[in-house]
Structure 1
């Protein structure tokens, strides 16, 4: 028996939501791996602050990965669990060897820009399908990530006292 029968969601209307969630899952997996690399490789000024912040970010991302995968399952599909599959469809690219804090922050801001755009697409698709739970999930992600963009942008600011 399909879970959608109990959720009162139409499989055809939810199909686009599921496809978008699969792509978002792949992007989040690459983002997670990039964050781990930033955490491990960071050096120089700001090390202590950024090393800790990157750990917070990858832990948060791991939680979101699990939530997205579980939402895919709830909507009657099966999320991929192979990194090779993620690399085939992810729009975020792997990054390695970044040791400079400002460069890592710029990569993270760029990634958030992409994720926010994709989450807005998922939110719209979910709203069209009557999938309020996915709408709520994406709305929560957007709220957190928009605030993080503001904070990272403030951290990166070159102006002091102006």
Structure 2
């Protein structure tokens, strides 16, 4: 078996890098969506949602960096162009969304896509004995599940 410097199976690590780049692309679109609704939100829930969306995009920015650094740790190359992001991403793109329920629904839908990708990566990282990626995905999943619960509660 061909091992990486981390002691992981090279072919399994290569597959993880592909999946992590997929997550990176989707996180970048999610990040931009949340920035957009943060900027454009209007109505009676403006103050509440404006702050919440800022919290979410700040968190997404940190996660984007963590994902890219994990790819580098696994000796991969993180994708980094908008062209690559838009071709790979499955997260719905939100454009000119200013209504509160539509904005929250976009975030909910986006997080659902991210969770699906993260669960796939969690399976792959478990099979590869990659505790670093496994731990990161577990943390992301736990946080996003709680956020989804709260946003769905807000939607009623």
- TM-score, structure 1 length as denominator? 0.92
The corresponding residue for 2:152 is 153
After superposition, where does 1:9-158 map in structure 2 within 5 Å? 9-157=8-156
Contact 2:25 2:85 in 1 (8 A): yes
In the alignment, structure 2 segments of 5+ residues that lack a partner are none
Shift of 1:16: 1.3
Secondary structure of the corresponding residue to residue 124 of structure 1 = helix
The corresponding residue for 1:160 is none
Structure 1 segments, 4+ long, off by >4 Å, are none
User: d(CA) in 1 for partners of 2:133 and 2:79?
Assistant: 19
User: d(CA) in 2 for partners of 1:102 and 1:91?
Assistant: 21
Contact 2:92 2:106 in 1 (8 A): no
User: d(CA) in 2 for partners of 1:55 and 1:113?
Assistant: 19
The corresponding residue for 1:4 is 4
User: d(CA) in 2 for partners of 1:4 and 1:71?
Assistant: 14
Contact 2:17 2:74 in 1 (8 A): yes
User: d(CA) in 1 for partners of 2:12 and 2:36?
Assistant: 38
In the alignment, structure 1 segments of 5+ residues that lack a partner are 158-162
Q: Which has the larger radius of gyration?
A: 1
Contact 2:26 2:89 in 1 (8 A): yes
Secondary structure of the corresponding residue to residue 147 of structure 1 = helix
Contact 2:92 2:110 in 1 (8 A): no
User: d(CA) in 2 for partners of 1:64 and 1:123?
Assistant: 16
Contact 2:91 2:109 in 1 (8 A): no
Q: Could you say what the CA RMSD is over the residues aligned between the two structures, in angstroms?
A: 1.1
